[in-house]
Each structure stands twice: as C-alpha cells, then as structure tokens.
Amino acid sequence: MTDEGYFSDDKSRISWATDDPDVSDEQQQQYEHKKPEREIPILKSTRTIRITYTPMTYTLSFTIILLCSHILLTHPWTHSFPPIFNSFHICFHVTHLLAHLFGWLTLERLAVVYGTWLFWTGWLLGIFVFTSQRLAIDFTHPTTSLFWLLMMERRNAWGILVWEYVGRLDQNLTPTHPTLALKWWQIGSIRLLAFRIWCLLGTGSFWGLLYISVATLDGFSLLYLLQFRHIMKLLVVSAAGGLMMIVFWSFWTFQYRGILWQKELRKGVVVWYSEGLAFAGEVE
C-alpha cells in the first residue's frame, strides 16, 4: 500500500546542500541560500474519520434517551436534583442529535464541548458528593456505560470539534480597529485559561449552585450545605472530573496539527503527526 504525497500548508522547509566534498563550508552555506527549498511532504492516509452520524450513533443516543425517559416517568422521586440531572441528560442527547440533523453547527459544537463536560462532572458529583440526593443512574445503570460507548464511538469526530474549538480559543481575537490594542478578553491565552478553569471548577460550581437551590427547597439546611468540607469535596470532585475529560480528549487529539474544511463540520481534510511523519486523512 502506497501513500500519495501532499505538501504542508505551514511551509515547513528543508534546505539541500551540495554533496561536493571540495566545496568549502562558506561556499556551501552560500549554495544553501541560493538552492530552492523543498516542502516537507504530507502523506495521504487511507484512514477516513466519519464525522457524520452513523447508525450506531443514533442507536446509542436514542437508547439513552428512552432509558432516561423511562426512569424519569417511572422512578419514585423523593428529591429534586436527580430528576433535574436526568432531564439534562435527555436534553444533551436531543440537542446534539437535532443540531447535527438540521445543520446547526454552532449549537452542535457547543453541545459536544460543554455538554460532555457538564454531564460527566454532574454525574460524578451526583454519585460521590450529593449523597443525600443520589442519582438513580449509578455505576450499574446502563445509561452510564452507554454514554461512554457513545463517547468512544464518536471519539475521533467529537475530538476534532473539541480540538478545533480549544485551538480557536487560544488565538487572539481581531480588534475592532487595527490601531486599537487588544482587550484582555480578546487575548487567546486568557480565553483558553478561562475555559480550562471552567472545565475544572466551573462545571462543578454550576451543579453545586443548582443542587443548593433545590436541596434547600427539599428541606435541607443552607448552613449544612455550605459547610467547608462539603464545598472542598465538591471542588475536588469537579476538578477530577474536568481533568478526566481533558485527558480523554487530549489522548485522541494530541497528534492533530490542522484541519481544512471543504464543508464545515461535514467534509474536510485533517493533518496529524505519527512516528515522525505527517499524514492527511479525509473527514466526512
């Protein structure tokens, strides 16, 4: 099996010098400057990343929706938080399905990037922190394993969405006028830092505030909920859940170097490095 040659868009170059041993070092350096440079080839891979939804994607998503709906309608709820989280799980899958079907690209990106972090952090908090209102979908419930089966099935496609979104955050925004200096919120490194803080602590803080509001309505003391040990436990589990998601996406995307869309989020070419070589594969 042979690979076709592409050429990189980043204009990485290799200079070629003469092999004549009689040429002095100074003449060889001058020759290198005059010699036309050659681009580093990118090999065309036979691998294709399926970004459009597969029958397996629909099967897993609809199964999760049906199981969560069954729990929501039949489970005897005694507290408010578990059904709220269960409803969020349903909304997450309905949102990314509809966004993909109708081509709502911005919503699809946001649903994948933020929805996966919110679900996993919320699930961990519901199991390990919010023990007074423990979730019905624990380790043994099939929706938990089905969620991770879906994540594995979509790991490459959703990984591209997450990788591209994070990469755009790391770029400075264009100022409204060329002569104006960048505002602090337009600086890429600050935007990326804010996103990472949200991944580690923001998701848990969101669920924590929601939990406190509904737990007080269920009769729990606000002073009890705001005890220091409870807050610290929430932040630790939130950071652990956020870090797990960062590691998960980074593991599948750390080799990516660029993507060129022919049709945004539907068809394009992605470039990655592997074992010192650059490869280009189709995304469709």
What tens digit of pLDDT does each residue of 131-164 get?
Answer: 766 676 766 789 999 999 999 999 999 999 999 9
Per-residue pLDDT reduced to its tens digit, 82-121: 899 999 999 999 999 999 999 999 999 999 999 999 999 9
In sequence order, the β-bridge partners of residue 11 are none
Distance from C-alpha of 73 to C-alpha of 87, rounded to nearest angstrom: 11
265: left (phi over 0), alpha (psi -120 to 50) or beta: left
The pTM score is: 0.81
Listing DSSP states for the chain in one string gives ----EEE-TT--EE------TTS-HHHHHHHHHHSPPEEPEEEEEEEEE--SPPHHHHHHHHHHHHHHHHHHHHS---SSHHHHHHHHHHHHHHHHHHHHHHT-HHHHHHHHHHHHHHHHHHHHHHHHT-GGG--SS-TTSHHHHHHHHHHHHTHHHHHHHHHHHHHHHTSPPPPSSTTSPPPGGG-HHHHHHHHHHIIIIIHHHHHHHHHHHHHHHTT--HHHHT-HHHHHHHHHHHHHHHHHHHHHHHHHHTTEEEEEEEETTTEEEEEEEETTEEEEEEE-
Digit-by-digit pLDDT tens for the chain (284 residues) are: 434 434 334 433 323 333 444 445 554 455 445 444 556 678 888 888 899 999 999 999 999 999 999 999 998 888 888 899 999 999 999 999 999 999 999 999 999 999 999 999 999 998 898 876 667 676 678 999 999 999 999 999 999 999 999 999 988 887 776 767 788 778 889 999 999 999 999 999 999 999 999 888 878 888 878 889 989 999 999 999 999 999 999 998 988 888 989 999 999 999 888 877 888 889 98
Provide the residue ranges of all domains of the chain, joining segments of one domain with +. 55-174+182-255
Compute CA 237 distance to the chain's CA centroid, rounded to the nearest angstrom: 19
For tokens 């080799």, the residue is 255
